[in-house]
Structure 1
Amino acid sequence: MDSKSYKMKFIDEVMSFDEFNLYWKKILISGGLRAWRKKCSELIWKNEMLNSSKVEDLFYYNYKDEFDWNKTLQFISNRNIYTSWEIEKDDVWERSYKIKNFLKDLPTYEVLYKRDVNKIETDQCIRCKNGVEDWDHLWICETNELTIKEVLELSISKFEESLLKEEKHEKIKFLQNINFSFLKILYEKSEVLLGKEKYWELIRGVYNRKFNTLSKIKMRKKLLTSFGVFVSMR
């Protein structure tokens, strides 16, 4: 019987189970809190993300400068919520999700199959068995309990409930006044993602500049940003 020998190499820093590990262009970004926060704030890191081939679809037709990239990067890095060095474990995993979601690199069967992950023999959706399970399919699979629009509308109610618990009645009133306008923007055709509505931008974590037109008051603009984050994470 023939036998083969293979050389194996262990990378110590990868083997250490840290809060968050991410490979970026063959460079390991470890889960060390300070290192991660530094990477989030470095211009080089941001440029690498925005120049990634995985987000070319967000730039190809973006001649009208539709997106507010500052707010988008705040979404992804959670800088709109956390300002100190102390970050809870849930926040770290939320960051991981946001980055992979933005890059359409969530562990779908398409992604796992391409990476040749052990025992993944097909890229087809195992729920509906009707097509490749890629990032888009996750949102439109016929076996989903809710449609994207139903999720968005339910998110608005849940956000208002969270404000009600904190007794922020003035903010609730503002949101109720702009709910229709907010949804109207979401249901418009995207100027960048051809053939899709603007809500496809938001669920990917991209903030459209049109939301900035809903209020000129700084405090309310911050509320809109938080509202957008909440809806995009549902």
Structure 2
Amino acid sequence: MDNLIVDEYSLCWNNVPIEGAFRSWFKGLSNNITKIDVILLDYDKDCFIEANGANIFINWKESFRLINNEVTTSKNVTSRNDASIRTWRVKNFLKLLPTYETLWKRAVWGIPSTKYPRCTIEDETWEHIWICMKNNGVTEMALLKKSINKVLSDDLNVNEASKQRPEFEEQILDVASTISNIMTTEGLEN
């Protein structure tokens, strides 16, 4: 009689009880399914490095930490603000945030044209947002420099008066702007 109660709540396959810890296995399976779904999306092709037809993704763990909003908080608290920030990060990562070009195609009321509203010269696309001169100096390079300054100011070993700081900033910018030769792409199969 006791076995019936145990069997009722145990994991079975073809009426055979399955023994062992399956939570971590299912967690890994779910994580792999999520990775496969992300790989198959057409939106994030520029997040991959293509080498001989094989896709190599850059830093899965950090990308998922950013999307999962684990970068800013260590608590498992979900609020409306947290959910909206997380949604924005996912859509920004996948370039799904609507531009005037996509809003115009959807025929959204109040969108007069596809032109970027700051310059009204070119269509608002993801590429034009980052290169437009009317963007008040907010470019990818400006954001990179601001991020480097933030990281260095948070580090106690590198302060503003340090002579090493300008050299360090220059080296980081040099590394960020050159093609990496560290990652080998030889021997990858299709």
What TM-score do the two structures reach when normalised by structure 1?
0.51
1:99 corresponds to: 90
1:1-234 aligned at under 5 Å gives the runs: 42-59=31-48, 61-62=50-51, 63=54, 65=56, 67-87=58-78, 89-146=80-137, 147-161=139-153, 163=154, 169-170=156-157, 176=165, 178-189=168-179
Q: Give ranges in structure 2 of 5+ residues lacking alignment.
A: 1-26, 184-190
Return the alpha-carbon distance in structure 2 between the equivalents of residues 70 and 107 of structure 1: 27
Is the 2:91–2:97 Cα contact (8 Å) retained in structure 1? Answer: yes
Question: 2:99 touches 2:126 (CA, 8 Å); kept in 1?
Answer: yes
What secondary structure sits across from 1:145 in the alignment? coil
Q: How far does the alpha carbon of each residue in 1:10-57 deviate from its partner, in whole angstroms, 9 at most, with x for none?
A: xxxxxxxxxxxxxxxxxxxxxxxxxxxx9xx74433432332111234
Quick one: structure 1 residues 190 and 120, their matched pair in 2 at CA, closer, same or farther if it must change by over 3 Å? farther
Alpha-carbon contact 1:106-1:135 (below 8 Å) kept: no
Distance 1:190 1:121, change over 3 A: farther
Percentage of pairs with the same residue: 28
Counterpart code for 2:133:
E
Greater relative contact order (Cα 8 A, min sep 6): structure 1 or 2?
Answer: 1
Higher helix fraction (1 or 2): 1
Deviation of 1:80 (Å)? 3.6
TM-score (norm 2): 0.61
Question: Unaligned stretches of 5+ in structure 1?
Answer: 1-37, 192-208, 211-234
- Whether the 8 Å CA contact 2:48–2:55 is kept in 1: the answer is no
Which protein shows a greater Rg? 2
Task: Name the SS for the 1:65 alignment partner.
Answer: strand
Two-structure CA RMSD over aligned residues (Å): 3.4
The alignment of Structure 1 onto Structure 2 pairs a total of residues equal to 148
